[in-house]
């Protein structure tokens, strides 16, 4: 018998969220970011669901991009970290897959391409995040060098914001990047999910919605619902045992939870090996058969405990929503001291995925 745990992916919600994100920009071109297996939602499934509305897709790995091509996805594809070696550079050119160019080593590979299959280059500028990209003072010279290469079609100037989601905003980075737009004369891609919703001056020609596609907010203290988004992922599992506790009884590894009154607890078929965060605090919200409840004690590898004391009808077979429409992922992430991004990406492959259109 299959273990009673599942992840349900609502593809219609993802489509709604793409459209909502794009509306924030007066319908500018939007690349749907589906790296990391579409943040755990399934890159092929998400791209297929968005194929009739998306302007293109942003990914990380060439093999994932080729898998999309094999699945019939015809929209433009862009690799956000560009090619990782010279062979990939040639294959991307042949497959018409664009890529970020952020370092001298990639320039060397591009110089050896011929004009038969031009490589579409997105010039990455390091405007202050200090991960990838050329220094702003070099951007114009690099742009001219790329434009002169016969095997390159330079299309876009791009950067990435480090603090678009908090009170610091984008002012400092935008001041570095904005003067380059007119000097380079290229299309612009700078806005991530947070900038899409809070910094319209950065929208440029192409925005890159990521976390908002999946119904989550990039901003601390808010949920995706607050932004008009719909949660796309629901993690749930069933109660597989019930225990009755007396005052003083303890629960789980380390005996961290002790009952101070009679309680009923349900043992749920989900643990940190499934991707539920072990460090989630006692009392992290859940919903049992649609009613609000909480976790009890420490999360185990394959199980966790929830409070059933106030839900007398709940028992073996009751469905426990661990995150989803009734339990915002942002709230679970806050209880685990992490981000909604990480929890979505961390759901284990052993958890069955069920897709709804």
Catalytic residues: 35, 253
Smallest CA-to-CA distance from 191 within 180, 183, 201, 179 is with 201
How many Å apart are CA 251 and CA 265, to the nearest integer? 9
Calpha distance 353→128 (Å, rounded):
38
Q: What is the residue-wise DSSP string for 11-80? A: HHHHHHHHHHHHHTTTS-EEEEE-HHHHHTT-HHHHHHHHTTT-SEEEES-HHHHHHHHHTT--S-EEET
Strand (E) or helix (H) holding 109: helix 104-111
Report the alpha-carbon distance of residue 317 to residue 172 in Å, rounded: 53
Cβ of 200: how many Cβ atoms within 10 Å? Answer: 13
Do 237 and 309 form a contact (C-beta atoms < 8 A)? Answer: no
């Amino acid at each position: 018998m299959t273990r009673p745990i599942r992840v349900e992916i609502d593809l219609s919600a993802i489509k709604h969220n793409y459209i909502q994100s794009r509306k924030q920009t007066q319908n500018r071109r939007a690349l749907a970011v589906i790296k990391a297996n579409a943040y755990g939602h399934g890159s092929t499934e998400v791209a297929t669901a968005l194929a009739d509305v998306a302007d293109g897709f942003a990914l990380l790995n060439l093999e994932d991009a080729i898998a999309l091509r094999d699945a019939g996805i015809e929209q433009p594809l862009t690799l956000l970290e560009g090619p990782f070696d010279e062979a990939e550079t040639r294959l991307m050119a042949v497959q018409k897959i664009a890529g970020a160019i952020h370092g001298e080593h990639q320039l060397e590979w591009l110089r050896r391409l011929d004009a038969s299959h031009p490589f579409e280059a997105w010039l990455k500028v390091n405007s202050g995040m200090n991960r990838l990209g050329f220094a702003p003072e070099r951007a114009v010279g690099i742009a001219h060098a790329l434009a002169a290469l016969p095997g390159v079609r330079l299309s876009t100037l791009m950067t990435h914001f480090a603090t678009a989601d908090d009170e610091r905003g984008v002012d400092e980075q935008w001041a570095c990047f904005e003067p380059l737009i007119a000097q380079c004369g290229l299309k612009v891609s700078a806005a991530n999910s947070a900038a899409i919703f809070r910094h319209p001056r950065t929208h440029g020609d192409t925005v890159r919605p990521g976390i908002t596609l999946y119904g989550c907010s990039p901003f601390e203290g808010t949920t995706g619902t607050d932004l008009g988004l719909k949660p796309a992922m629901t993690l749930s599992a069933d109660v597989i045992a019930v225990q009755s506790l007396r005052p003083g009884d303890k629960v789980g590894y380390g005996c961290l939870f002790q009952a101070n009154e009679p309680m009923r607890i349900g043992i749920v078929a989900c643990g940190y090996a499934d991707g539920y965060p072990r460090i989630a605090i006692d009392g992290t919200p859940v919903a049992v058969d649609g009613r609000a409840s909480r976790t009890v004690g420490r999360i185990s590898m394959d199980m966790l405990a929830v409070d059933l004391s106030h839900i007398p009808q709940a028992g073996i077979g009751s469905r426990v929503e661990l995150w989803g429409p009734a339990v915002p992922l942002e709230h679970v992430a806050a209880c685990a001291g992490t981000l909604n991004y990480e929890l979505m990406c961390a759901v284990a492959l052993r958890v069955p995925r069920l897709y709804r259109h």
